[in-house]
Structure 1
């Protein structure tokens, strides 16, 4: 098991390194000169001043030298300073947004896992009956609905028309912090984020459970007189969860994309809103730092998923 964890950890570190190279190259090769983001258009600068600024920022160096300098600083925790927020370091700014994003994504994925697995079990047990047909139709609608459309429709119906939930933010302005207030603002975006993931988990769970229910050991358990509830929950569901665990780990990256749209629509103060604002203002240090932190978190979650899969299915450790 330790050898398996070591191999997966080494692969994860290589993926983070590759991600840092990709982020740096994409931003450096984007249209426009990076130095334009550091210049106030209303303040004219002479060519000598521009060249001095380029030298101070290290933009006169070849790309490999620039990348190695940025990577060396990043490994020491120095991601630079925000261009649009004068004097604000990138790392504390990014880490301050991690908590709201984790809260939103964690709540949304928890709802998706519980609802998806429960609906998948019901759909498989009641195969071709009206619960199965109804849940299948709803799952297809959830899978085919884009995150931005779901967010906008949910905001319009539940916040504007019905007024069941706040329309944005993490807490009510001008009021002291309270857990109930945060939960009131959290429930709508978390539920909207969970729709697509719950639909996918349900489809995988249904398909996997139907395959397991046709195995010999399930028929043997039934022949021994084991109650149907325990046949489903104890003998079939555990083995049916193996592909679902893999799916849950792979949906983390998709959830990040959905969270970006949701945080923008609901003005949720997380990583997604920070990235959108940084892209709009061409705040390169914030974009690079936030993207690297998000990517590293996704890779770390996938590493934990692989380890969890190895605990559930020992055959994975020797593969």
Structure 2
């Protein structure tokens, strides 16, 4: 297990380096000059002053040297300084915003698991029944609904028309902090974020359980007179959960993408809103630092997902 963890960590580091190179190249290939973000458009500036700013930022160096300088600083926890936030450290901005994003994503994924697994089991047990058909149609609708569309429709329906939930923010401005107020603001964006993941988990759970229910050991348990409920819960469910765990870990990047749209629509003060504002302001240090940080989190989650396999299914032997 230790050897496997070390190999996975090494692979994760390679992926992180590749991601950092890709981020750097894509931002350098983006239209426009990075120096423009540092200049007030209403103030005239000479070419000499432009060259001085470019030299101070190191943008007059070849790309490989620029990348190595940025990567070296990132290794020491220095992700640069924000342009739009008056020179605030990018790492501090990320640490301030990561909490709300984890809260939103964690709640959304928890809702998806809590709803998706039971409904997937019900759909498999009641195969080809009206309830299975209704759940399947609902799942296909959920899978086909983009995160931004679900967020916009949900905002209009539940906040504007029905006024059941706040239309944005994490807390009520001017009011003292309370858990109930936080939950009141959290529940709608978390539910909307969970729609696609709930549908995916339900379909994977259904397909996996149907496959397991046709295995020999399940038929043997039934032949021994074991109750159908215990056959499903004790013998089939644990083995059927493995693809679902794989799904949850592998779609973490999709969850982050959905969180970006959801945070933007609901003005949720997390990493998604930070990145959207950074792109709008062409705040290159924040874009690069936040993307690198999110990539590291996704790689870490995938590693933890791989290590969870052996816990759920002891038949799996951890190997290269």
Paired with 1:146 and 1:88, the residues of 2 have a C-alpha distance of 34
Paired with 1:309 and 1:42, the residues of 2 have a C-alpha distance of 58
Matched, 1:292 2:278: no
* TM superposition shift of 1:79: 1.2
Q: Which residue of 2 aligns with 1:317?
A: 318
Q: Do 2:123 and 2:132's aligned partners in 1 also have CA atoms closer than 8 Å? A: yes
* TM superposition shift of 1:315: 2.8
- Any residues of structure 2 matched to 1:272-311 within 5 Å, and which? 272-311=272-311
Paired with 2:87 and 2:215, the residues of 1 have a C-alpha distance of 63
Q: Which residue of 2 aligns with 1:218?
A: 218
- Any residues of structure 2 matched to 1:116-135 within 5 Å, and which? 116-135=116-135
Q: Which residue of 2 aligns with 1:147?
A: 147
* TM superposition shift of 1:312: 2.7
Q: Which residue of 1 aligns with 2:164?
A: 164
Paired with 1:75 and 1:239, the residues of 2 have a C-alpha distance of 40
Which secondary structure does the structure 2 equivalent of 1:31 belong to? coil
- Any residues of structure 2 matched to 1:118-267 within 5 Å, and which? 118-267=118-267
Paired with 1:82 and 1:8, the residues of 2 have a C-alpha distance of 33
* TM superposition shift of 1:316: 4.4
Paired with 1:225 and 1:264, the residues of 2 have a C-alpha distance of 55
In the alignment, structure 2 segments of 5+ residues that lack a partner are: none
How many residues matched? 319
Q: Which residue of 1 aligns with 2:271?
A: 271
Q: Which residue of 1 aligns with 2:23?
A: 23
Q: Do 1:35 and 1:54's aligned partners in 2 also have CA atoms closer than 8 Å? A: yes
Q: Do 1:189 and 1:262's aligned partners in 2 also have CA atoms closer than 8 Å? A: yes
Deviations 1:186-234 (A, max 9, x none): 0000000101001011111101100100111111111111111111011
Structure 1: 4+ residue segments shifted above 3 A: none
Paired with 1:43 and 1:213, the residues of 2 have a C-alpha distance of 71
Matched, 1:11 2:11: yes
Q: Which residue of 2 aligns with 1:62?
A: 62
Paired with 1:87 and 1:136, the residues of 2 have a C-alpha distance of 51
Paired with 1:18 and 1:176, the residues of 2 have a C-alpha distance of 45
Paired with 1:219 and 1:54, the residues of 2 have a C-alpha distance of 72
Q: Do 1:208 and 1:241's aligned partners in 2 also have CA atoms closer than 8 Å? A: yes
Q: Which residue of 2 aligns with 1:101?
A: 101
Q: Do 2:241 and 2:312's aligned partners in 1 also have CA atoms closer than 8 Å? A: no
* TM superposition shift of 1:107: 0.4
Paired with 2:112 and 2:305, the residues of 1 have a C-alpha distance of 16
Which secondary structure does the structure 2 equivalent of 1:317 belong to? coil
What's the TM-score once normalised by structure 2's chain length?
0.98
Q: Do 1:309 and 1:316's aligned partners in 2 also have CA atoms closer than 8 Å? A: no
